Chain A
Amino acid sequence: MTFRLSSDAVRLAIPALSLTLLLSAVFWLQPRAMSYIGLNLLFNLAVPIALATIAQMLVMAVNDLDLSMGAFVSFVACVTATFLRDAPAIGILILAGAVAAYAALGVVIHLRNLPSIVVTLGMSFVWGGVAVLLLPAPGGQAPDWVRWLMTVKPPLAPMAIVASIIIAVIAHFIVKRSSLGVLIRGVGGNQRSVERAGWSIVAARATAYALAGLFAVLAGIALVGLTTSADANIALRYTLLSIAGVILGGGEFIGGRVSPIGAVIGALTLTLAGSFLSFLRISPDWQIGAQGAILIIVLALRLMLNRLEKREKRR
């Protein structure tokens, strides 16, 4: 038997490589970043982005796309900075209701055969509107335990790194190792064959959406823990960042090919790309464009690798 590198491993190689490359470039430009505090500063904003990316990945695993991610995370941030601090019971109830709403979205999208893009785009205005009602002006305050959680200083590695690893491991376990994860990815890979094996596709899709809602809630809470207060527009960038993170981490829009570890690495890479450009003293006017350029380069690398892989297979 010949040795075959699994396609999952190949898929993970590119994001890992680009993160390492970017990190070495940052260290070379700014050696002082190579410290406990430096690393935490570089990466702590990556924690909520990583959580949102995992949420997006779960939706993408069933061949859908969530365009309300940013608005939803903003909404959760507003709830966290108001209700979760002042009346925890009501706050938890609201967040649980939000997760249930995500599950319901999955059911509606499946039963009515609606395009997820349209439904979630519509929902993004709903979440945005509710968030403005909660916090018409920036304000609120993070609950103390959240603040503590996001500023804790574990030994050996900074919080941002430890949290990223924990998120990656838990998501990997759910999506890649558990039966539920197999079912969710199976729906993305070949819905008919899952149906023929006697599973309920509605239930699978609802679960995937509910899990996505849960991770998005965690993202909102983590974000408030870092920023200490909230705003109705605080996380609007997250919609595109989370999609880019999944793709950067080796996931694909359709076919149920997703990688949780890759997604977390993708989120870290995106965050780092911003810092890297600042260290290069590129003016903020150009930064978004330059960030896009980094994205295109990484994706081009992956396309090239895919092509090589296909050529190998044809032999």
Chain B
Amino acid sequence: MDDVAKAIIAVDGAKVSFGAVKALDGVTLRVMPGECVGLVGHNGAGKSTIVSVINGGLTPHDGTVTSDGERQERYGINAARDRGVRCVFQELSLCPNLSIVENTRLVHRALGGFGWRSRAAEIIEKSLDAVFPGHGIDSGLTVGDLSIAERQMVEIALAFSDAGTPARLVILDEPTSSLDASLARQMLDHVRRFIAGGGSVIFISHILHEILETCDRIVVMKDGRVVAERPAQGFDHHGLVEAMGSVAKAETRQRPVREQSAAHAILSHQASGLPFTARTGEIIGLAGLAGHGQTELLLALHAARSGNWLPQRNPLVTFVAGDRRLNGVFELWSILRNFSIASLGDMSSRGLVLEAGEKAKGAAWKERIEIRTPNMDNRILSLSGGNQQKVLFARALATRAPVVLMDDPMRGVDVGTKQEVYAIIRDEAARGRTFIWYSTEMEEVCLCDRVYVFREGRITAELVGHAVNETNIISASFEGTA
């Protein structure tokens, strides 16, 4: 218990779930003064969730937060800030319409009163000079006018800046993703100085050598749990990659390897990195950490193969959206309408929809993929999330397009439905359809015949057949150089 008394923040047995998804499943994490903790893990491991718990943005459904030995009953954003917890978020989170000085004002609530502008300017300039000597950023500029790297620098400097309450624990979530090597170096040096001065840092990065050389202790997360926790000397590059994937699921089925190199190439695309090709009847996985260019490739493929102004008579590609609510379902429409919208051209004559044909096709697909509803005329929102997703699949599969693009469509879908959809995909692939499948879930990527791994917007590896496994994918997504 001595540890807990000294820790700046100690989280004990935190559990958080979003619907059926367990984001955190009993995580215990302590951050001591003068310590840099590295936090690594693949997509959905729960890194961002534990960060939200520590910075007060999220209250765990179970478990406790303790700070300086006091148990925090009402821990929130303001309580966290008063204790000197600061956070640099993965997505840039400054107000783009405000100047750097004004953003400083917003971050430091205590800064008000007459003449705050000059005080804020002094604070942010001092911090920028300390973290990035020779930065050349004028604090009067509007954030929207800065380059991405400059915005990131301002955000990091803001986290370390001091206006009354000094920063004691700074959480850096992928801070170097848009900095070049020399700026990243400056930042890492500052982190070490900050640690030497008694501050603490939680450092999240996918660039493993940064973690290995900067951190004192490394915590590896997977599926909402801490799976390994050791001093940094206890890890090397290889060991870290292995720890992230170590809990390989025992039930991962052996997948029949299908040889398709002879099949006819149906689609190819030259993005940055390795060339991309898809052959008839293949299931191709796009893997790597979320947001590293997979969705962009899918959109580029779709844009290149579909008409801009007029719908094409025989489209080559069709799209299954990932974010159902945002760009998948038409919430006010019936299930049947939602299903038939993509193939209305085939079901109409002289511009009028043939209702009998639409109904028959809807009934056939309802049968085939087992949409659980008494009536296809019910509203789409009467279905469960998994069944809504099935309707979206049916919408894509009912078109005549030979290539189906899938943008992580299985997010938040229950296991049973997933298995059913996997079976449909395999079945359709055997009939000669091509699937290009971006997924953040390892299990799904491992179902694919061939996998392209993305890093920083580029295809950096291609895995075929037996090489498609968790270890290879993780090691390719985390490859070391900055």
Contact = CB atoms under 8 A, between A and B. Distances in A.
Whether A and B are associated in the same complex: the answer reads: yes
Interface of A: 1, 4, 6-8, 177, 179, 182-183, 185-186, 188-190, 192-199, 255-257, 313
Contact of B97 (A1, A199, A255): A255
Nearest to A189: B95
A182 B109 CA distance: 12
Contact of A198 (B78, B97, B138): B78
Contact of A195 (B77, B96, B103, B141): B77
A256 B78 CA distance: 24
A238 B97 CA distance: 27
Contacts of A4: 138, 141, 145
Interface in B78-93: 78, 81, 87, 89, 93
A8 B55 contact: no
B107 interface: yes
A189 B93 CA distance: 10
A77 B240 CA distance: 72
B239 interface: no
B105 A255 contact: no
Given A193-B106, A199-B109, 6 more contacts: A6-B145, A177-B117, A185-B102, A190-B95, A193-B94, A197-B106
Nearest to A6: B142
Given A7-B145, A8-B142, A193-B106, A179 B112 contact: yes
A192 B98 contact: no
B72 to A, nearest CB: 15
Contact of B136 (A1, A183, A188, A256): A1
Q: Dominant SS at the A interface?
A: helix
A179 B105 contact: yes
A177 B112 CA distance: 12
A310 to B, nearest CB: 11
B97 A188 contact: yes
A186 B109 contact: no
25 contacts: A4-B138, A4-B145, A7-B142, A182-B98, A182-B102, A185-B95, A185-B98, A185-B102, A186-B102, A186-B103, A188-B97, A189-B96, A190-B93, A190-B94, A192-B93, A194-B106, A195-B77, A196-B77, A197-B81, A197-B106, A197-B107, A198-B81, A256-B95, A257-B97, A313-B145
Contacts of B87: 196
Interface string B127-163: 0000000001010111011000000000000000000
Contacts of A183: 106
Contacts of B142: 6-8
Most buried by A among B106, B111, B116, B142: B106
B13 interface: no
Contact of A6 (B94, B98, B141): B141
Contacts of A255: 96-97
A7 B78 CA distance: 33
A196 B57 contact: yes
B93 A193 contact: yes
Given A7-B144, A196-B93, A186 B138 contact: no
A186 B98 contact: yes
Contacts of A257: 97
B60 to A, nearest CB: 18
A192 B94 CA distance: 9
A179 B112 CA distance: 7
A197 B109 contact: yes
Contacts of B94: 190, 193
B114 to A, nearest CB: 10
A188 B102 CA distance: 14
A185 B99 CA distance: 11
Contacts of B57: 196
Contacts of B144: 7
B136 A193 contact: no
Contacts of A197: 77, 81, 106-107, 109
Nearest to A252: B97
A249 to B, nearest CB: 15
A40 B102 CA distance: 38
A182 B106 CA distance: 7
Contacts of A7: 142, 144-145
Interface string B213-236: 000000000000000000000000
